[in-house]
Amino acid sequence: LPACTSNKKLVYLQNKSRMIKPGELIAHKKYLYKIQPDDVLSVKILGLDPNTTSFFNIESNTAFNQYNPAALYLNGYSVNDSGYIYLPIIGPLMVKDLNIEEAASLIRSKVDEHLSKATVIVKLVNFKLTVLGEVKKPGMYNIYNDRVTILEVLGLAGDITDFGNRTNVMLIRQTARGAMMFNIDMTNSELIRSELYFLLPGDVIYVEPLRTKAVRLSVPAAQLILSGISTILLMYTIFFLK
């Protein structure tokens, strides 16, 4: 009995407070990521004349596929400690604390000084998340989506196992001032309203084990002890209580 897990501890997004009505539209708290030092940006400048726009782009000589994470890194622009990236022809640009759309707008304004009707595409390359603990496939995951939810990432990791504590999932988030830790209750549907519902680059998710796991692991030892006691009592009954 102590090794059993309640069904309430396994079900995601339970409407515990009954505040969410079926079919209700839940507004998300949108959080725009601000570019930070050590980020890597993919910047592509396109125009009518490929020969001209090629001077504004980095091209790798590696044999990697262009969508391989290593190739994306090699073809990207690293943000230095001061918050600048250095683009060919254009030179240094301050992108720290800008979101991706603002960075694209800034680069476009500089490109317009050299090219006419150019298109600028900016992507964040180093969007990596780490999932540890009681999931089926722990590890580091490269994300190619600026708005990824914690449910989607747990899905990538194969979901939380039956031994995982869904009511106390730890989220570790790096900020400019240091690391911050949050505890998330995955069984509470109010999570969808939370700003923690969407993850940011560098986030680490840790799913701690339930106490029942330790109990289940100790069951074989307990069975061995009880079996030994039963054998002794049986022998005592046979030889001394005839």
Query: Would you state the structure tokens that stand for residue 215, as one six-digit string?
Result: 């109990």
What pLDDT digit, counting tens, does each position of 168-181 carry? 999 999 877 889 99
pLDDT category at 97 given cuts 50, 70, 90 is very high
Quote the radius of gyration of the chain (alpha carbons, Å): 27
The kind and range of the H/E element at 120 are strand 119-124
Question: pLDDT tens digit string along 11-32?
Answer: 887 776 666 666 666 666 667 7
Summarize pLDDT for 141-175 with one digit per residue, the tens.
Answer: 999 888 899 999 999 999 999 999 999 999 999 87
Question: pLDDT per residue over 198-223, tens digit each?
Answer: 999 999 999 999 976 555 555 566 56
User: How many CA atoms lie less than 13 Å away from 122 in the CB half-sphere?
Assistant: 21
Q: What is the pLDDT of residue 62?
A: 44
Supply the pTM of this predicted model: 0.74
pLDDT for 61 equals 44
What pLDDT sits at residue 86? 94
Across the range 45-59, mean pLDDT stands at 84
